[in-house]
Structures are given as structure tokens and as C-alpha cells.
Amino acid sequence: IITINHESIHIKQQQELLVVFFYIWYVLEFLVKLVKYWRVNLAYQNLSFEREAYTNQGDLDYLKTRKWYSFLKYI
């Protein structure tokens, strides 16, 4: 259930950015974080999309109250 919630958060993020812009942002942010951290797993863990999803994956009501573009708080 937690994994489903995590992925559901990503689906919401993708909807907000019309899918294609989500992936463009994801790759660009990953490259920036990779330069900053020089480690793939640290770059991944610090992506705004992942931080939002991991932080809130245990809250099964999160998507009911989540505001649009909430991932921006995690940049």
C-alpha cells in the first residue's frame, strides 16, 4: 500500500506537469543534483519529486489534501 501511495504521488506530479514536462524536469534536476552530490543514489534521494513522495508515502490521506505543485516545497 505504501508503494502504491508513493507511485500515486508521482502520478499526481506527472498530471500537474503534463507528463512530458515531469520527465524533462526530473532528468534536469537529477543532473543538477548529480553534479552537487557526485553520487547517483544521493542525487536520486534529493530530487524534489522523490522527497515529496518518500516523505508522504505513509500518509494514505495525503493526496486528498495535497495542493498543486507541492513538490516545489522540496527543491
Quick one: which of 8, 5, 48 has its CA closest to 26?
A: 48
pLDDT at 34: 98
Q: Give the residue-averaged pLDDT of 30-37.
A: 98
| 48-68: pLDDT as tens digits | 999 999 999 999 999 999 999
Number of Cβ within 10 Å of residue 26's Cβ equals 18
**Confidence class of residue 43 from pLDDT cuts 50, 70 and 90?**
very high
pTM of structure: 0.95
